[in-house]
Amino acid sequence: MQNVLKQKVTVQPGGIVHIESPELVPGSIADVIIIPETPAALATALANLIGTAAGGFATPHEADAFIRQERNTWHT
């Protein structure tokens, strides 16, 4: 069975986590799994994402203006 080390840590500014233990062998390889006790960020409402992706339009007016501009290039 694998040796497991569990510690409670406080995430520092910038998302930095510091783990220190005399059980850790210098130069050895270890897997680190972070399981936050609280949500990292508040869920974003789906409505707030409208128009933010590449090629997306925030309003119908913006979509119409883009289509009108594209159609104008066909006739030149």
Q: Identify the CA nearest to 47 among candidates 55, 59, 39, 64.
A: 59
Per-residue pLDDT, 17: 93
- Cα pseudo-dihedral 56, 58, 61, 63, rounded to 10: 0
Continuous segment of H or E residues that includes residue 37: none
pTM, to two decimals = 0.42
What 8-state DSSP symbol labels residue 59? S
Q: Do residues 23 and 3 touch, judged by C-beta distance below 8 A?
A: yes
Per-residue pLDDT, 18: 93
Query: In angstroms, rounded to a whole number, what is the distance separating the alpha carbons of residues 59 and 21?
Result: 55
Q: Region 5-13: what's the mean pLDDT?
A: 90
